[in-house]
């Protein structure tokens, strides 16, 4: 059985303590960061060791959106930010839908070649220009364009045998605050959100997306709980009204935006009670132990079914074979032709979100 915690570790190799922790029944997955990466050969060996620890195997995830948020760089294709696809869409809609599929193809095949199950992608937030932390991570300001590009992207992930995770439900793009450092507050009402930010999430639920990540954002005119702790947003809206049946991930519970619940035990309990299936706790090993000691060691049957759908599916080429393929060369050439000058990475490359 896989538990509801997704955790991290330091370094490019597992320690004996890491292995012991990853075998805990309440742990279900691992998120990798830049600090865990040297090159494709090293990370492939690391993923193989993680997958061999348990059966069913632990899920392995990473933030590999492209642009500022790409944890594996040396040896991997430098993926353009999603906003570059939105800009291209304004000039050539049909061609850019194909380019979005190319972006997803490269990301999925390169990650699968080293043993990663999925990336926390795509971003479904709107690129309103208000949020610096979202910025060029968003496809576009128009919800219909975000939905079209994201559906093309997710369809290719599925074709490549990779699940997708849309983020950050119900929308992080309309606030200035960065939830890594503060609690952002969005004062819009439900109708405003329904007509804009919720549209891409609704479209991707209809398109069969497997995962959704909640936002550490408060929408006080709709509900008095942060979205990630809100039964209204997760159970009533996402599951009830939108009909989502996949895995709900919390954003990192160590982020400042999650700090309205003072202890990590309270954060975990509130997120689970609200309807989250998987809780991310990053860069806080003491918090992981606090939650493991507090939560009952019991099976989560619905979570088990949902988590099984997050595993990569089908055969994956090894990294050298992928690099040698004509499809990889052609697809990366198309992406590189439209890739703008790289921006600085988003804050700490070991921060999730």
Q: Could you tell me the residue ranges of all domains in the chain?
A: 58-282+295-337
| CB neighbour list of residue 268: distance below 8 Å, 6 or more residues apart | 253, 279, 281, 291, 294, 295
Longest dimension (CA), the chain: 54
Q: How far is CA 153 from CA 111, 113, 149, 288, in A?
A: 15, 19, 6, 33
Separation of alpha carbons 290 and 248, rounded Å: 22
- Collapse the DSSP code of 53 into the 3-class scheme (helix H, G, I; strand E, B; otherwise coil) and give the result: coil
Confidence at residue 294, expressed as pLDDT on a 0 to 100 scale: 92
Does the annotation count 181 as an active-site position?
Answer: no
Mean pLDDT split into 10-residue runs, the chain, 353 residues? 94 97 96 98 98 97 97 96 96 95 98 98 92 91 98 98 98 77 88 96 98 96 95 98 97 75 87 96 95 84 88 96 96 80 51 61
Separation of alpha carbons 163 and 310, rounded Å: 5
Between strands 64-66 and 69-70, the pairing is: antiparallel
Asked if 234 and 277 touch (Cβ cutoff 8 Å), the reply is no
The dotted CATH code for 58-282+295-337 is 3.20.20.300
Backbone angles phi, psi at 298, to 5 degrees: -125, 155
Confidence at residue 257, expressed as pLDDT on a 0 to 100 scale: 55
Confidence at residue 339, expressed as pLDDT on a 0 to 100 scale: 58
Global pTM value: 0.94
- Collapse the DSSP code of 107 into the 3-class scheme (helix H, G, I; strand E, B; otherwise coil) and give the result: helix
Does the annotation count 109 as an active-site position?
Answer: no
Confidence at residue 1, expressed as pLDDT on a 0 to 100 scale: 85
Count other Cβ atoms within 10 Å, centred on residue 339.
18
Question: Considering 109, 168, 180, 216, which one is annotated as catalytic?
Answer: 180
Question: Considering 18, 186, 251, 277, which one is annotated as catalytic?
Answer: 251
Confidence at residue 135, expressed as pLDDT on a 0 to 100 scale: 92
């Amino acid at each position: 059985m896989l538990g509801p915690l997704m955790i991290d570790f330091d370094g490019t190799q597992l320690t004996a303590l890491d292995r012991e922790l990853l075998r805990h029944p309440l742990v279900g997955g691992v998120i990798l960061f830049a600090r865990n990466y040297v090159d494709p050969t090293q990370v492939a060996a690391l993923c193989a060791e993680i997958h061999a620890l348990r059966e069913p195997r632990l899920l392995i995830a990473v933030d590999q959106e492209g642009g500022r948020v790409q944890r594996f760089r040396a040896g991997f294709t430098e993926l353009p930010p999603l906003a570059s696809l939105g800009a291209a869409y304004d000039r050539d809609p049909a061609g850019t839908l194909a380019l979005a599929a190319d972006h997803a193809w490269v990301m999925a095949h390169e990650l699968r070649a080293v043993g990663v199950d999925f990336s926390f992608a795509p971003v479904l937030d709107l690129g309103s220009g208000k949020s610096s932390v979202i910025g060029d991570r968003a496809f576009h300001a128009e919800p219909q364009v975000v939905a079209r590009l994201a559906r093309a992207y997710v369809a290719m992930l599925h074709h490549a045998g990779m699940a997708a995770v849309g983020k950050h439900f119900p929308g992080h793009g309309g606030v200035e605050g960065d939830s890594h450092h503060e609690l952002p507050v969005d004062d819009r009402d439900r109708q405003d959100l329904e007509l804009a930010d919720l549209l891409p999430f609704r479209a991707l639920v209809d398109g069969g997306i497997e995962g959704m990540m909640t936002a550490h954002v408060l929408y006080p005119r709709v509900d008095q709980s942060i979205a990630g702790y809100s039964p209204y947003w997760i159970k009533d809206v996402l599951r009830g009204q939108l009909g989502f049946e996949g895995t709900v991930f919390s954003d990192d519970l160590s982020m400042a935006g999650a700090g309205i619940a003072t202890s990590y035990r309270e954060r975990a309990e509130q997120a689970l009670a609200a309807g989250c299936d998987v809780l991310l706790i990053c860069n806080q090993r003491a918090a992981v132990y606090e939650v493991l000691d507090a939560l009952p060691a019991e099976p989560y049957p619905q979570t088990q079914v949902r988590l099984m759908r997050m595993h990569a599916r089908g055969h994956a080429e090894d990294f050298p074979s992928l690099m040698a393929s004509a499809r990889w060369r052609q697809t990366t050439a198309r992406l590189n032709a439209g890739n703008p000058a790289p921006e600085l990475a988003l804050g700490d490359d070991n921060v999730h979100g």
